[in-house]
Amino acid sequence: MRPFILLLILLIALITPSIVKAQEQAIPIIAVFKDKPDVNLFQQYGGQVIRVFKIIPGIHGLMKPSDVINLSKDPRIKYVELDEKLNVLEEIQWNLYQIHAPEAWSIGGTYGHHPKIQVAVLDTGVDCTHPDLAANIAWTPSADPGFPSACPDTNGHGTHVTGIVAALLNGFGVAGVAPQVTVYDILVCPGGSCPISDIVQGIQLAMEGPDGIIGTDDDAEVMNMSFGGPGNYPAMQDAIQNAYDHGVVSVAAAGNSGCPDGDTVLEPARYPTVIAMAATTSAKTIADFSSCGPSVTAAAPGSAVLSTLPGGTYGTASGTSMAAPHGTGVVALMQAVRAIANVPLLKPSEVKTIICNTAEDLPPAGFDIRSGCGLLRADRAVQAAMAALTTVKITQTLPPKIVVNTVNQSLIVTNTQTIMVQEQAFQNNTITLTKIIPSGKIIFSSTEEKLVLFDWASMFLAFIAVLLLGSVVGTFVSRRS
């Protein structure tokens, strides 16, 4: 039988006794010949030639369905197929839009890139030659003595996870949440199985960085752990606690056990020192497989997420393993804006608080065991990370009258009182302010153009435009309270 069965299936609804040949509409086809293309033969069957291919012995043209069937039976024809239309592979997929990652990229001018920001992906390894990953992968150590390197991937899982974190924004394939971040892919799960000893060693490698010394600039700032287990693993917990104490943020997959009893979150996600990620669908609902419990921090895309695969390919996968790297990428963006501003990075506890306080609430209202604080919002989290920049005091006591001052600052004030607004201040600058209390919860937001801030002792504080990085120069008017 000739290979035109698919075409018959596609056209079967069109070929019925009630439809006469004169009513048929010509359809686009590709006819491939056994020898060389024969235009005359194609036309004999009623075909209209559009083009003749050179790299295959085929003709692209239009032909009525009944004539296509007859053509496909001709012994000189190898096969006939419908000229179908494929969809382009959009670089920015639904998952990035759902968490508002593109908006986060425009805040502070960062895509996660800064020499001091490294992400450690503890997984099955990585295809370090993948064209959508290679430029961002800086180090591929193995924590398992049986493997010399994390490259190549021993399973495929790690390549998919890495792509969600850091696939390049390069005009093809897919993009990651932090498409310019530096990645350390550390093999801790050879073949998809993760020994506790390898995990502990992997955490140590992440904390040391390539120079083998904890506390230097090449240490990882955030770790992704898309694995978990239902038991008690004190060695792993101690290692994560040590990383936490050294300022490393840990993000983990909540688990894929569903919610049969109200608390199915796996370790290490259930540790209080870890950001535990549940999984959403493209419809902004929690995936049925996503584990639940009071330790869930937030939710992110985890159902049919398209990402990188070994061999330079792409494919979809589902699980909270896909949700966790979304959280990891957002943490990288948060820390990068602070590194760019040359201010201290957020502590792990501060990161977790901001992730929670800036999440988009999902039904039911408020914190719940399925989505935690809600849907991860990259844009809000990065804004909050910027708004939490260090307060700077100017130790000059101003007299109780209007004083004109000139500033050249690039810092954001927090934990201060707004005393007054002077319209003549910063006439050539737009100033917005987001005030955040120590817990990270936004309690005041204003888009007023002119703001004057004082601390509790009426000492003048740094006066600066929130959500702007770089120098802001202008003249402002201030007064003691």
Residues 100 and 64 in one domain: no
Report in angstroms the alpha-carbon separations of 129 from 92, 137, 150.
Answer: 21, 9, 12
Alpha carbons 372 and 360: distance in angstroms, whole number: 10
Higher pLDDT, 34 or 13: 34
Q: Judge whether 393 lies within some domain.
A: no
Give the model's pLDDT for residue 89: 52
Give the model's pLDDT for residue 236: 93
Alpha carbons 27 and 127: distance in angstroms, whole number: 42
Q: Judge whether 398 lies within some domain.
A: no
Q: Judge whether 88 lies within some domain.
A: no
Residue 385 has pLDDT above 90, yes or no: no
Helix (H, G, I), strand (E, B) or coil at 471: coil
Give the model's pLDDT for residue 86: 58
Q: Judge whether 87 lies within some domain.
A: no
pLDDT digits (tens, 9 = 90+) for 88-146: 456 789 999 999 999 999 876 678 888 889 999 999 999 999 999 999 999 999 999 99
pLDDT digits (tens, 9 = 90+) for 38-58: 999 999 999 999 999 988 999
Q: Which of 100, 113, 130, 157 is catalytic?
A: 157
If pLDDT is split at 50, 70 and 90, which confidence band does 85 have? low
The pTM (predicted TM-score) of the whole model is 0.69
Alpha carbons 226 and 161: distance in angstroms, whole number: 8
Residues 369 and 433 in one domain: no
Residues 183 and 277 in one domain: yes
* Residue 476: φ, ψ to 5°: -130, 160
Q: Judge whether 396 lies within some domain.
A: no
Q: If you average pLDDT over residues 410-424, what whole number do you get?
A: 30
Q: How many domains does the chain have?
A: 3
Quick count: other Cβ atoms within 10 Å of Cβ 51?
11
Residue at token pair 């993009």: 175
Alpha carbons 481 and 469: distance in angstroms, whole number: 28
Residues 165 and 266 in one domain: yes
Whether 257 is catalytic: no
Residues 74 and 161 in one domain: no
Q: Which of 290, 321, 371, 478 is catalytic?
A: 321
Give the model's pLDDT for residue 448: 32
Q: Which of 67, 113, 123, 291 is catalytic?
A: 123
Give the model's pLDDT for residue 394: 31
Residues 62 and 125 in one domain: no
Helices (H), 63-173: 65-73, 94-98, 101-105, 157-166
Domain extent, residue 16, equals 5-82
CATH code of the domain in which 194 resides: 3.40.50.200
Whether 321 is catalytic: yes
Residues 450 and 343 in one domain: no
Whether 123 is catalytic: yes
If pLDDT is split at 50, 70 and 90, which confidence band does 413 have? very low
For the ranges 78-92, 420-434, 459-473, the one whose mean pLDDT is highest: 78-92
Higher pLDDT, 96 or 461: 96
Q: Is the peptide bond before 141 cis (omega within 30 degrees of 0)?
A: no
Residues 179 and 253 in one domain: yes
